[in-house]
Chains A and B, each alone.
Chain A
Amino acid sequence: MNPYLAGVILGLVLLLSFYLTGRGLGASGAMKSVVVTGVEVVAHEKAATSDFYGKYLEGESSPMKNWLVFQVLGVLVGGFLSGALAGRLSLKTEHAPGITSRKRMLMAILGGALFGFGSQFGRGCTSGAALSGMATLSLAGFVTMIAIFGTAYLFAYFFRKNWI
């Protein structure tokens, strides 16, 4: 799809989210719910008294009964439907010809871990902090966006063999 048209559609979905719920879109928040639930199941006492996990366990219902969790389940379905329509469904590991699949998988785990860690530090990821934050003109949104993309540019040279 033309990227500008895809951007307009994404912008309208984001606007609809604000119109209906008063908040934008998100992704890392749902992953946090998964982690908090996991820790709660394995180590109930520890989770309840932790400064970090505790604040998501104060309510009576499970942290999985959360708006963002259902929204991210929708992302899975929406992505699958789009991929099916475009004929892009296939199990594969995508990487540059210069590196092995194994290296790509290790880099994906490492990159994911850094992004996950950073998303908690920065109170949201590209969706919740940068994109949704910019839509409301929040200073935090612009700062997070510049920090994410600026840093990725700064480090791009060192990781070029992974991509080109």
Chain B
Amino acid sequence: MAPIIPIYEISQELNFLIAFIIGIGFGFALEQAGFSSSRKLAGMFYGYDTTVLKVFFTAAIVAMLGLLFLNHWELIDMSIIYVNEYYINSAIIGGVIMGVGFIIGGFCPGTSVCAAAIGKLDAMAYLGGALIGIFLFGETYPLWKDIYMKNYLGGIKLSTTLGISDGLLIFLIIAAATLMFWVGEWAEKKFRRSDISKEL
């Protein structure tokens, strides 16, 4: 029965080794996708390269379907799977600030680690910036605490909010993603920038 580590009380050393190995897979997949390039990531927002859209939604759908089937076959105890807790205000405010950071900085934290690993100096600068940003949040936390904790809805699922089954929601997401992939392929032709794509 999964999840293995919380159920079988694996030792901390083995747990950290597993974390390290999963991280290698994570970093390898991000780099293979081309996410070690900020101009490739930014292409998503100008249409000339929509790799981010394709990789992100394909990965989310694979994991969603995997969890759905593992649960269906009773191979995983979903009651101890972490579902992100929803605080309405902070999720939206945090997301908006991250969005501005994305278009200015060209990376998100995970991709910056991956790009720094292959020698991108701008990614190393971004990482330094991210530490500064986290430090600034920590230093100014009392100012935000109220809004950070406001409107707590718990670990609520989108399917519950919509009043539909998990399976139907995943089906709808797959349909939406297929449409977006089609738009992405179209955009890459329409907004093609051979000069940039050649360099990436």
Contact = CB atoms under 8 A, between A and B. Distances in A.
B132 A67 contact: no
Interface string B141-152: 110110010000
Contacts, number: 522
A115 B27 contact: no
Contacts of B130: 28, 31, 112-113, 115-116, 119
| Number of chain A interface residues as a range | 35 or more
A152 B80 CA distance: 34
Given A82-B28, A114-B133, A126-B109, A11 B63 contact: yes
Given A28-B134, A123-B91, A139-B86, A18 B118 contact: no
A113 B107 contact: no
B29 A76 contact: no
Interface string B4-40: 1110000010011111111111111111111011110
B106 A163 contact: yes
Nearest to A28: B109
Contact of B20 (A16, A71, A138): A71
B57 A20 contact: no
B55 interface: yes
Q: What is the interface residue range for chain B against chain A?
A: 35 or more
Given A129-B84, A140-B86, A113 B129 contact: yes
A21 to B, nearest CB: 5
A133 B170 CA distance: 14
A15 B67 CA distance: 7
Contact of B23 (A77, A94, A130): A77
A77 B138 contact: no
A83 B98 contact: no
Given A50-B138, A70-B16, A7 B54 contact: yes
B32 A139 contact: no
Contacts of A16: 22, 25
A139 B156 contact: yes
A72 B23 contact: yes
B3 A115 contact: no
Contacts of A129: 84, 91, 94-95
A6 B56 CA distance: 9
A77 B120 contact: no
11 contacts: A9-B25, A15-B62, A16-B25, A22-B5, A52-B138, A76-B27, A111-B107, A113-B130, A113-B132, A117-B136, A127-B108
